[in-house]
Amino acid sequence: MSTKHFFPSTEGVVVLGLESLVARNKHLALDAPNKVVYSKTHHPSKVTVISGGGSGHEPAWSGYVGDGMLAAAVNGEVFASPSTKQVMAAISHVPSDAGIILCITNYTGDNLHFGLAREKAAGMGHNVAILRMTDDVALGRKQTENTGRRGLAANMYVLKLCGSAAEDGYDFDKCMKIGEAVNANAVTVGSSLDHCHIPGREHHRSVPDDTYVLGMGIHNEPGLHEKTPMPAIEEIVSDMLKYCLDPEDKDRAFVDFNPDDVVCLLINNFGGMSNFELEALTTITRKVLERDWKITPSRIHVSCFETSLNAPGWSISLLNVSGIERQTNTSIHTLLHLLDRDTKASAWPRNGYKESHLPKKQAQPSSNNTTEATTEKGPKVDPSTIESALRAACTAAIKAEPDITKWDVQMGDGDCGEAVESMCKGVLAKLDSGLCKSGALFHILDEVEAAVEEIGGTLAAIISIVLASYTSQLRLAVAREGEGLEVDVKRSGKAAGQALKNLMGYTSARQGGRTVMDALIPFCETLEGEADLGKAVEAAEKGAQSTRGMKATFGRAAYVGEQGAETQQDAPPDPGAMAAAIFLRGFLDGMSAKK
């Protein structure tokens, strides 16, 4: 792996790259502050397909923006998920009357931040859904039962067919059905000679000479296994294809490939391979497919589709088009038409690079601050009571910061206390500026959620999703029942219960996994079932305390060492769960003080 770069760090490089892409493609526009590339020719009558993720995977994601693929792409920093604010900016640039599909690669940060954006957009009245792309077969069912499979280069087949369907005028449900079926019938496995290197970062462990890694991820994750000495290339390809096609491998036989099925092949360059080798690898793959599996691909796509900076590796993706036909009742002829359909996306092979013409009637992008005009609408609450409750909750959590940090240092990476303190200080700053003065509940909830989201990180994303979804449920209730709706504890419990269900769609963490969910789940379930805030807070506290001595199965603590605990029974409580319980107790005490 080369550790020499023309740029000493990644600072500012993401936007420089996006500026280059937009400068040479007239159909594109760039929202530089939000790192969003969007199509100027997308029509609001058509389904909007948006994707995105961390940078360092170019041309993913912005190289696939254009009629016939994505309407917009959202770019985080290198190997870092974009924020919810960025995703919302993308949604605002490409509005749709038909619906919005957010295609994500099933990594934790993307699930949470795109998930929070979905909740916010739904609360604003958009028809929006998340389509998770999960084609990796290197990690089997057992290893991914908690997190789900990773999204790799077969993502591009999802984006191409779903985007083509949208461009051809298919409705929202049909586009989703095709996208989900493409994902369900796609498999990918990668191999590499070494890790990539990120400018300005410490040198990553190098793979030894005469060794290759099977199943390496695109973020420098370790592979499934290393093989040394290097086998012959036919053996390497044969090994890779077994992970994709072997029906006897019950841990990895994710897709059935029947005789005479129509299959497409995609070969992806991780970024550091020469075209000289990549084209030769494609020929070897094609020959081994025909020899060992009697598969002759109907389409072959070879390029840098989804890279890992300068990693010297590649991946094989297979798409069973016949499987999509069986799942969607869409003919193979139609599916291949969607795959072959021309697109203005610059990174898709065989692009025509046509001159773009803006439609005569273009809907103006909606503002990121769509909710500002309606902040005073909706239910009212007593300003002094809600302010007292929020102040008491934030004060209690800030006071507990030393303990939260101590617990996290023992079992995690030590940043939970600082994050909780920053969230609460952000809320207090909004209270000091008169947030609760009007008593407008939706405005208060939106601003508290914004203060939490601003901090970033997994805990903030989880809390933000719950708050945004809770608020959306109340907004929907007002839309159904009128402005006079009273938000009592029963109504709040029902909204909290649905918010919890929505959250569970974005994280696989559950009660008993030593996370903040050990407090949130019993709180929301008790509030919904008992309609009693006091009992709900007690349930949250009991859940948080139950994490003492609990083995972590989710989150960073699941793989960060437990050196701080001599035995498992000595493990401290989960800091996120305790922070939530402390905040909720403070909120209840603050409400009681005003009664």
User: Model-level pTM?
Assistant: 0.81
The binding site consists of 54-57, 110
Does the pLDDT value for residue 215 go beyond 60? yes
Using one digit for the tens of pLDDT, what is the confidence trace for 164-183?
A: 999 999 999 999 999 999 99
Average pLDDT of span 479-491: 87
What's the pLDDT at 371?
A: 41
Does the pLDDT value for residue 70 go beyond 60? yes
Inter-CA distances, 530 with 437, 525, 527, 539, Å: 30, 8, 5, 11
Answer whether 389's CB lies under 8 Å from 590's CB.
yes
Using one digit for the tens of pLDDT, what is the confidence trace for 399-440?
A: 999 999 999 887 766 789 999 999 999 999 999 999 999 999
Average pLDDT of span 275-284: 97
Q: CA 160 to CA 342: how far, in whole Å?
A: 10
Average pLDDT of span 341-358: 70
Q: CA 486 to CA 492: how far, in whole Å?
A: 10
Average pLDDT of span 19-34: 97
Does the pLDDT value for residue 471 go beyond 90? yes
- Mean pLDDT over all residues of the chain? 90
The binding site for substrate consists of 54-57, 110
Catalytic residue, from 42, 219, 301, 443: name it: 219
- Core vs surface per residue 73-97: b (16+ CB within 10 A) or e: bbbbebbbbbbbbbbbbbbbbbbbe
Average pLDDT of span 221-236: 89
Residue 53 φ then ψ, to 5°: 160, -165
Does the pLDDT value for residue 217 go beyond 50? yes
Is 203 an active-site residue?
A: no
Does the pLDDT value for residue 567 go beyond 50? no
What's the pLDDT at 150?
A: 87
First to last CA, the chain: 65
